[in-house]
Amino acid sequence: MSSQAKSEEDLREEIGTFLQKNFPQIEMHGGSAAIQNLDRESGEVSIQLGGACSGCGISPMTIQAIKKRMVNEIAEIETVHANTGGGGGSGHGGKSPSFPGETTDTGESGGEDDGAPTAPF
């Protein structure tokens, strides 16, 4: 770390700006990102993705991108921990990810569900 280390408040603000600038799709798709923990001394930050990110199929890719880019763009950050808090497994807190135009109506078609995915349009 440099001899002119940022205050924790400044570093938190920089991380928040980084997330908004680099990952606007998180909010655009109904998700959220928040700093869970920040240890300035060790350069570690924990990010929690929530909202629509929990259970989203592309959240693992978003997490990898956050981890890679943040350590490259914010000099004080050496390690990034990020998760969606989904708890693993297939439960996803009882919620499935949704997509624009997708409906969650079940059983109204009168036909049998063959288990195939349906298009969101």
Residue 32: φ, ψ to 5°: -145, 160
pTM: 0.65
Q: Tokens 């943040």 identify what position?
A: 70
Tens-of-pLDDT digits for all 121 residues of the chain? Answer: 444 568 999 999 999 999 999 888 888 889 999 999 999 999 999 999 999 988 888 889 999 999 999 999 999 999 999 988 754 433 333 333 333 443 444 444 444 444 544 434 3
Looking at 23-98, list the stretches that DSSP marks H as alpha helix, in order from N- to C-terminal side: 24-28, 59-73
Strand order of the β-sheet with 79-83 is 31-39, 44-51, 79-83
